[in-house]
Amino acid sequence: MKHTIKILVLIILTSACRQIHSDSKIPFTEGREIVTKNGMVVSAHPEASRAGISVLQKGGNAVDAAVAVQLALAVCYPEAGNIGGGGFMVLRQSDGTKRVLDFREKAPIAAKRDMYLDGDGNIAGKLSTDTHLASGVPGTVDGMVRIHSLYGSLDFRDVIQPAINLAEKGFPLPEDQAASLNRNRENFTGRNRILPAFVKDSLWKGGDVLRQPDLAKTMKRIRKHGRKGFYSGLTAQLIVNEMKRGNGIISEKDLENYSSVFREPLQTDYRNYSLSTVPPPSGGGIILTQLLGMVESSPVGEWGFHSAKAVHLVVEAEKRAFADRSGYSGDPDFVSVPVKELTDRKYLRLRMNDFDEKRATPSSAVFGGDPLADENEQTTHYSVADRYGNAVAATTTLNNTFGSSIVVEGAGFILNNEMDDFSVKPGEPNMYGLTGGDANAIEPGKRMLSSMTPVIVEKEGKLFLVAGSPGGATIPTTVFQVIINVVDYRMKISEAVDAGRFHHQWLPDQISIEANSIDSLTLMELKNMGHEIRTRSSIGSVNAIQILPDGRMASASDKRGFNTACGY
Catalytic residues: 379
Stretch that binds ligand GLY, among 383-391, 448-456, 497-505, 508-516 (CB under 6 A): 448-456
Give the nearest distance from C-beta 177 to ligand GLY in angstroms: 20
Give the nearest distance from C-beta 432 to ligand GLY in angstroms: 7
- How many CA atoms does the CB half-sphere of 343 hold within 13 Å? 22
Q: Which parts of 322-381 interact with ligand GLY (CB under 6 A)?
A: 379
Other C-beta atoms lying within 10 Å of the C-beta of residue 223: 19
| Contacting residue, 397, 401, 435, 478, with ligand GLY by CB under 6 A | 397
Give the nearest distance from C-beta 400 to ligand GLY in angstroms: 8
381 Cβ contact list (under 8 Å, min separation 6): 44, 393, 394, 395, 396, 454, 467, 468, 469, 470, 541, 542, 543
Give the nearest distance from C-beta 293 to ligand GLY in angstroms: 21
210 vs 393 by CB, closer to ligand GLY: 393
Residues touching ligand GLY, count (CB under 6 A): 9
Check if the beta carbon of residue 87 is closer than 8 Å to that of residue 452: yes
As a whole number of angstroms, the distance between CA 103 and CA 98 comes to 16
| Contacting residue, 68, 292, 414, 452, with ligand GLY by CB under 6 A | 452
Q: What is the DSSP letter of 181?
A: H
421 binds ligand GLY (CB under 6 A): yes
Check if the beta carbon of residue 32 is closer than 8 Å to that of residue 494: yes
By beta-carbon distance, which residue lies closest to ligand GLY? 450
Find the Cα–Cα–Cα–Cα dihedral 261, 264, 266, 269, rounded to 10°.
Answer: 150
30 vs 418 by CB, closer to ligand GLY: 418
379 vs 405 by CB, closer to ligand GLY: 379
278 vs 544 by CB, closer to ligand GLY: 278
214 vs 421 by CB, closer to ligand GLY: 421
401 vs 546 by CB, closer to ligand GLY: 401
Query: Is the bond into 281 cis (omega within 30 degrees of 0)?
Result: yes
| Contacting residue, 39, 84, 468, 472, with ligand GLY by CB under 6 A | 472
451 binds ligand GLY (CB under 6 A): yes
As a whole number of angstroms, the distance between CA 61 and CA 439 comes to 38
71 vs 24, 147, 388, CA distance in Å? 20, 13, 23
385 Cβ contact list (under 8 Å, min separation 6): 39, 40, 62, 391, 392, 463, 466, 545, 547, 553
Distance of CA 492 to the CA centre of its chain: 22
Give the nearest distance from C-beta 473 to ligand GLY in angstroms: 7
Residues that bind ligand GLY (CB under 6 A): 379, 397, 399, 418, 421, 450-452, 472
